[in-house]
């Protein structure tokens, strides 16, 4: 058999649910589905957005090509009068990190969240029309996670009514800001505010970097690219920059002043707005990153699932076909939990978007009460989903065997582009430690304060600490209440145990540092409660379409019981489960895999990914893998000639034993 076309046709016939309805469930609504389907096709059918050749381009060509795509996209946005939502989808489907990500997802949100009304009136229209291009310059060579440790200074000069932005040390050089090296005209620069010799915390300042006429850096500003990053194409379309400031003057009204103000006289005024709002842009982007995780993971899973149905190895009987690798239980036990995770992350991302929208409205009305929980949820879920997605993409590469390592599988570039999400917008361990602080506080207050929001389950602390799981058969695991309770009990027990051990330390900060590895595990357990619970809440809603809800229920159990199996050490050590119950969960998991199996291809079709987005020969919708792999190999420019450059010069002299006289 040359290709897998017939295999995927057969697989699609096996589906036990309405794929079109599942596409709507995945997208969130019919309207969302139609919108994203339209924009995906717009991008897929436009040759300027071609991306197969990307990994072969040198950096300068790659970057220029990326600038061209952005300009073309902007023209489309104007010509077709696309809304902001459509424009965001356009950027998603173009699938190329670019300076516009920073413009729309960090520069504009930072001004929206931290600027005064006057600042918003001035800067937002300019930015939204792309008349200024902004980036987010927070991280420095010496500090990223520790924002309070940043060294760049913004010293107020009362004589001129200006701030003087300065990089006093090498380590204070801004390092990483995307879009900055070659494109952005402005940046939000985070710096230590100095008034009359006194430090008043780190704040954001709008600093112009380049001349708007000729694009040259302004006097006092040294700016450049920080160099090639992991992977060939991948994140190298982005110009991550280094900036040094040498006493650069900016007007006083370019400090973002919603949180605190500096008066004309140079006095510091702290408003009622908590200073944590300075970190608000990061909360916003972390929420976006969670929503994006399901998109990235679903791409890898779609490729690996389709290819697993096409690929056959071993087991031929009487000259018949060999076994599809998707039928191996080991393949299923690695692939199907990732398929289920993609759906789980999709639904928790939807919920987090709702939570963020609610918090944003409250913040606008000066209600800051839910900010700590929003911070803990965005930080924790950003960490959980990006770590699982990065690991999941790499697992999908392995699930595709040798061909997964080919760039034309689409997986290496996806991985290289995705993996920095574990680091940017907060290193994943540092983020889990933020959740830990929130949990420790919640646990310490349990005696007198009712936990709310995502920790509300800890109100039942006594029951969750004392009663144990009642499951006696594998069948009994198919109960959402039983599953969620197991996760809640494990999380509560881990958090309470950490709290008890912390209480033995005289110095709480020392205790926190000493127990930090355990605290990270407890935080992960709590974040898993959130994902599992939000999946159940989704299932409680009306989900139209034949068989759709049933399949989502199967995926819920796969997700939850797989996690239970993976972390069974925690479930056993906390005493909530017996080894027998853990083993029954695993038995049920095997049964669930066989329920997923006939639906696997239809479940990945439901992501509605275009071949353009997947950019993968292994994941082609039509399954025509082998002929296309073969064709692509001979279309590779490296195969233009049978005799590669250098063969005559370096190989032939060796073959002829003439190296001594060759010119090397
Ligand atoms: C195409 C790409 C591939 C796929 C990617 C997905 C893209 C998805 C779509 C997104 C769109 C665009 C993305 C743009 C590209 C991204 C480019 C990357 C940009 C960056 O990385 S910008 C830099 C980000 N930097 C960080 O995240 C730094 C991390 N550090 C911190 O956040 C903090 O300093 C801290 C959390 C570590 C806190 O340190 P600490 O010293 O303890 O804090 P303090 O300042 O003292 O504050 C303590 C109290 O404040 C609370 N707190 C902390 N943070 C927040 C917050 N954000 N909100 C509310 N409250 C907060 C903290 O809990 C303490 O509270 P307590 O006193 O304990 O009550
Ligand atoms: C592709 C990419 C794009 C980026 N874009 C931008 C941008 O546009 N603007 C911007 O300002 N920044 C940007 N960044 C920078 C990014 O935000 C930081 O790299 C990130 O916040 C991590 O900080 P760090 O590099 O200081 O890591 P570090 O904090 O130095 O981390 C190093 C190690 O130390 C550990 N660690 C650190 N602190 C603790 C602690 N308290 N307890 C336990 N372990 C700890 C971490 O877990 C990690 O293992 C980007 C980074 C990347 C990779």
Check if 450 has its Cβ closer than 6 Å to any atom of ligand 2: no
Burial pattern 562-586, b for ≥16 Cβ within 10 A else e, equals bbbbebbebbeebebbeeebbebbb
Residue 1 has pLDDT above 80, yes or no: no
User: Nearest C-alpha to atom 20 of ligand 2 is from which residue?
Assistant: 424
Cα separation, 28 vs 541, in Å, equals 12
Q: Which residues of 185-211 are buried (b: 16+ CB within 10 A; e: fewer)?
A: bbbbbbbbbbbeeeebebbbbbbbbbe
Supply the pLDDT for residue 277: 87
Q: How many CA atoms lie within 13 A of 50 on its CB side?
A: 6
Ligand nearest to the CA of 148: 1
219: pLDDT strictly greater than 90: yes
Res 427 pLDDT > 70: yes
User: What does each C-alpha distance from 149 to 188, 192, 270, 576 come to in angstroms?
Assistant: 17, 9, 20, 42
Residues 620-637, mean pLDDT to the nearest whole number = 96
- Over pLDDT 90: what percentage of the chain? 93
State the average pLDDT over residues 200-226. Answer: 98
Pocket flag, ligand 2, residue 514 (CB < 6 Å): no
Cα(171) to centroid(ligand 2), Å: 14
pLDDT at residue 661 is higher than 90: no
Whether 139 lines ligand 1, by a CB cut-off of 6 Å, is: yes
CA-CA distances (angstroms) from residue 493 to 72, 258, 489, 585, 594? 54, 41, 6, 20, 33
Binding site, by residue number, is 139, 178
- Distant-in-sequence, close-in-space partners of 75: CB < 8 Å, separation ≥ 6: none
Ligand 1 close to Cβ of residue 439 (< 6 A) = no
Say which range, 344-353, 355-364, 374-383, has the weakest mean pLDDT: 355-364
136 Cβ closer than 6 Å to some ligand 2 atom: yes
Contact 216, 164 (CB under 8 A): no
Stretch 354-366: mean pLDDT, rounded?
92
Strand partners, 210: 217
What are the residues whose beta carbons fall under 8 Å from the beta carbon of 489, sequence distance 6 or more? 464, 465, 467, 468, 469, 574, 576
Q: Is the pLDDT of residue 178 over 80?
A: yes
* pLDDT (average), residues 29-56: 95
**Looking at the predicted structure, is the pLDDT value of residue 318 above 90?**
no
Does ligand 2 have an atom closer than 6 angstroms to the CB of 235?
A: yes
Distance (angstroms) between ligand 1 centre and the Cα of 21 equals 37
Question: Are 199 and 243 in contact, with CB atoms under 8 Å apart?
Answer: no
pLDDT value, residue 3:
58
Query: Which helix or strand (DSSP H or E) is residue 520 part of?
Result: helix 516-540
Biggest CA pair distance of the chain: 92
- Closest ligand 1 atom to 144 CA: 28
Q: Which of 195, 214, 193 minimizes the C-alpha distance to 151?
A: 193
pLDDT tens string 269-286: 988 888 888 898 999 999
Average pLDDT over residues 635-641: 94
The residue whose two tokens read 């090639």 is 228
Question: Could you tell me what percent of the chain has a pLDDT over 70?
Answer: 100
Going by the DSSP 8-state scheme, the letter that residue 107 receives in this structure is: I
144 lines ligand 2 (CB under 6 A): yes
Q: Rounded to the nearest whole angstrom, what is the distance from the C-alpha of residue 378 to the centroid of ligand 1? A: 9
Which residue out of 150, 176, 518 has the highest number of ligand 2 atoms within 8 Å of its CB and is therefore the one to mutate? 176
pLDDT at 2 over 70: no
For residue 619, name the pLDDT band (cuts at 50, 70, 90).
very high
Binding residues for FAD: 139, 178
CA–centroid distance, residue 501 to ligand 2 (Å): 29
Q: Which residues are catalytic?
A: 425
pLDDT for residue 481: 98
Contact 205, 256 (CB under 8 A): yes
The tens digit of pLDDT for each residue in 492-544 reads 999 999 999 999 999 999 999 999 999 999 999 999 999 999 999 999 999 99
Summarize pLDDT for 442-476 with one digit per residue, the tens. Answer: 999 999 999 999 999 999 999 999 999 999 999 99
- Ligand 2: which of 419, 430, 437 to mutate, most ligand atoms within 8 Å of CB? 430
Q: What's the rounded Cα separation, in Å, for the pair 559 and 514?
A: 32
- The CA 116 to ligand 1 mean position distance, Å, reads 21
Q: Could you say which ligand is closest to the alpha carbon of residue 189?
A: 2
Average pLDDT for 145-161: 98
């Amino acid at each position: 058999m040359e290709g897998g076309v017939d295999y995927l046709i057969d697989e699609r016939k096996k589906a036990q649910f309405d794929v079109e309805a599942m596409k709507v469930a995945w997208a969130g609504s019919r309207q969302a589905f139609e919108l994203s389907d339209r924009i995906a096709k717009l991008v897929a059918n436009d040759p300027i957005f071609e991306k197969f050749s990307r990994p072969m381009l040198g950096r300068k060509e790659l970057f220029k090509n990326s600038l061209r795509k952005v300009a073309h996209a902007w023209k489309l946005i104007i010509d077709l009068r696309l809304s902001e939502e459509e424009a965001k989808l356009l950027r998603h489907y173009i699938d190329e990190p670019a300076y516009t990500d920073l413009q729309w997802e960090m520069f504009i949100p930072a001004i929206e969240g931290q600027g005064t009304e006057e600042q918003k009136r001035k800067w937002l229209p300019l930015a939204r029309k792309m008349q200024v291009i902004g980036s987010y310059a927070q991280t420095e060579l010496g500090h990223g996670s520790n924002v309070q440790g940043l060294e760049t200074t913004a010293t107020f000069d009362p004589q001129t009514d200006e701030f003087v932005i300065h990089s006093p040390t090498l380590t204070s050089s801004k390092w990483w800001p995307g879009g900055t090296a070659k494109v952005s005209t402005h940046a939000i620069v985070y710096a230590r505010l100095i008034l009359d010799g006194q430090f008043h915390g780190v704040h954001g300042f709008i600093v112009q970097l380049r001349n708007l006429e000729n694009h040259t850096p302004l006097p006092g500003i040294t700016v450049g690219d920080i160099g090639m990053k992991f992977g060939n194409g991948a994140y190298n379309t982005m110009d991550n920059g280094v900036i040094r400031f040498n006493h650069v003057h900016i007007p006083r009204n370019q400090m973002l002043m919603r949180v605190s103000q500096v008066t004309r006289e140079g006095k510091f005024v702290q408003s009622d707005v908590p200073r944590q709002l300075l970190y608000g842009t990061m909360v916003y982007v972390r929420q976006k990153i969670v929503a994006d995780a399901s998109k990235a993971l679903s791409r890898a899973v779609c490729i690996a699932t389709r290819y697993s149905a096409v690929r056959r190895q071993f087991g031929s009987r009487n000259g018949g076909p060999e076994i599809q690798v998707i039928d191996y239980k080991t393949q299923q036990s690695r692939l199907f939990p990732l398929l289920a995770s993609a759906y789980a992350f999709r639904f928790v991302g939807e919920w987090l978007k709702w939570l963020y929208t609610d918090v944003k409205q409250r913040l606008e009305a000066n209600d800051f009460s839910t900010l700590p929980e929003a911070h803990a949820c965005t930080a924790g879920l950003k960490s959980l989903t990006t770590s699982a997605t990065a690991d999941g993409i790499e697992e999908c590469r392995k699930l595709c065997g040798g061909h997964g390592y080919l760039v034309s599988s689409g997986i290496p570039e996806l991985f290289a582009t995705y993996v920095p999400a574990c680091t940017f917008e907060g290193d994943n361990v540092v983020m889990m430690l933020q959740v830990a602080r929130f949990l420790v506080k919640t646990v310490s207050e349990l005696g007198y304060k009712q936990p709310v929001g995502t920790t509300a389950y800890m109100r039942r602390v006594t029951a969750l600490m004392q009663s144990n799981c009642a499951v006696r058969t594998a069948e009994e695991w198919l109960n959402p209440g039983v599953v969620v309770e197991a996760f809640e009990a494990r999380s509560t027990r881990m958090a309470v145990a950490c709290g008890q051990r912390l209480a033995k330390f005289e110095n709480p900060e020392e205790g926190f540092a000493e127990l930090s590895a355990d605290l990270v595990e407890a935080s992960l357990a709590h974040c898993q409660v959130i994902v599992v619970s939000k999946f159940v809440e989704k299932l409680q809603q009306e989900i139209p379409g034949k068989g759709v809800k049933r399949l989502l229920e199967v995926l819920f159990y796969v997700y939850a019981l797989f996690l239970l199996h993976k972390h069974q050490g925690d479930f056993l050590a906390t005493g909530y489960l017996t080894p027998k119950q853990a083993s029954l969960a695993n038995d049920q998991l095997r049964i669930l895999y066989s329920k997923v199996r006939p639906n696997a291809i239809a479940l990945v079709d439901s992501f509605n990914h275009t071949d353009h987005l997947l950019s993968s020969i292994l994941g082609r919708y039509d399954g025509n893998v082998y002929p296309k792999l073969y064709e692509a190999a001979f279309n590779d420019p490296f195969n233009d000639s049978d005799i590669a450059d250098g063969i005559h010069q370096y190989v032939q002299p060796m073959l002829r034993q003439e190296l001594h006289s060759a010119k090397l």
